[in-house]
């Protein structure tokens, strides 16, 4: 029930923004969508480059990839 309400609210906000943009200019929603897609692609590439550089650093320093939030590798010993 809660997720349906969140989905309905987000959809409502998006539709209101799109209708306001359409009232200003018929092509404004299309331009907004295209620019959002292009900026998202650029942002995704930037995050991927950052992720790959961090993986390379972890592999060189520790020999394996650290988990999310892990500052140093856990060393477990068997008793």
Question: What DSSP designation does 73 have?
Answer: -
* pTM greater than the 0.75 cutoff: no
Would you say how long the chain is, in residues?
79
Cβ atoms < 10 Å from Cβ of 21: 17
Q: Report CA torsion sign: 38, 42, 47, 53.
A: positive
Quick one: DSSP state of residue 74? Answer: -
Q: How confident is the model at residue 76 (pLDDT cuts 50, 70, 90)?
A: low
Nearest to 62, CA basis, from 50, 71, 53: 71
pLDDT in tens, 30-65: 998 899 888 988 888 888 888 877 777 666 666 666
């Amino acid at each position: 029930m809660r997720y349906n309400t969140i989905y309905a609210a987000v959809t409502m906000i998006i539709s209101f923004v799109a209708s306001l943009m359409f009232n200003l200019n018929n092509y404004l929603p299309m331009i907004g969508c295209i620019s959002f897609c292009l900026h998202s692609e650029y942002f995704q590439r930037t995050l991927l480059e950052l992720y790959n550089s961090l993986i390379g650093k972890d592999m060189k320093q520790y020999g394996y990839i650290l988990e999310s939030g892990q500052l140093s590798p856990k060393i477990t010993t068997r008793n």
